[in-house]
Amino acid sequence: MLETTIYRPEFVHAMNTVSLIANYQAVEIVTPFLHHTKGEILSVGLAMKLDYKDTWTCYNGQEKSCGKCSACYERLEAFAENNIQDPITYELN
Ligand SMILES: [Zn+2]
């Protein structure tokens, strides 16, 4: 997780450079949550009254989230940080 956090700003900067070269009209990639943790992002969504029952994070592509992949792990960690039960059902349940 730390490794991807380090490289994300470089990726965004590189993509912005490419989009300025490759398009007739400049496209700017805006990343307001780039330096936020998943828990902080979830907190913003909860404040906006987003219904996380209708969201999907898992990488496995099955009917239910696996609860084991890195995306599920980070999602569950974010809900735990916010002291809220994740409303979706996991394979592990
Ligand atoms: Zn998963």
Dump pLDDT digits (tens) for 16-31. 888 888 877 878 888 8
Judged by DSSP in three states, 57 sits in: coil
- The answer, yes or no, to whether residue 7 has pLDDT greater than 80, is no
Ligand 1 centroid, distance to 71 Cα (angstroms):
6
Ligand 1 centroid, distance to 35 Cα (angstroms):
23
Q: Which pLDDT value is given to residue 3?
A: 44
Which of 90, 39, 86, 87 lies closest to 69, judged by CA? 90
* 3/8: higher pLDDT: 8
Ligand 1 centroid, distance to 40 Cα (angstroms):
20
Q: Which pLDDT value is given to residue 18?
A: 87
Dump pLDDT digits (tens) for 39-68. 999 999 999 999 999 999 999 988 899 999
Ligand 1 centroid, distance to 75 Cα (angstroms):
9
Looking at the chain, how many residues does it have? 93
Arithmetic mean of pLDDT over the chain: 88
Full-model pTM:
0.75
Per-residue b or e along 54-82, where b marks 16 or more CB atoms closer than 10 Å to that residue's CB: eeebbeeeeeebbbeeebbebbbebbeeb
Structure tokens at 88: 């979706």
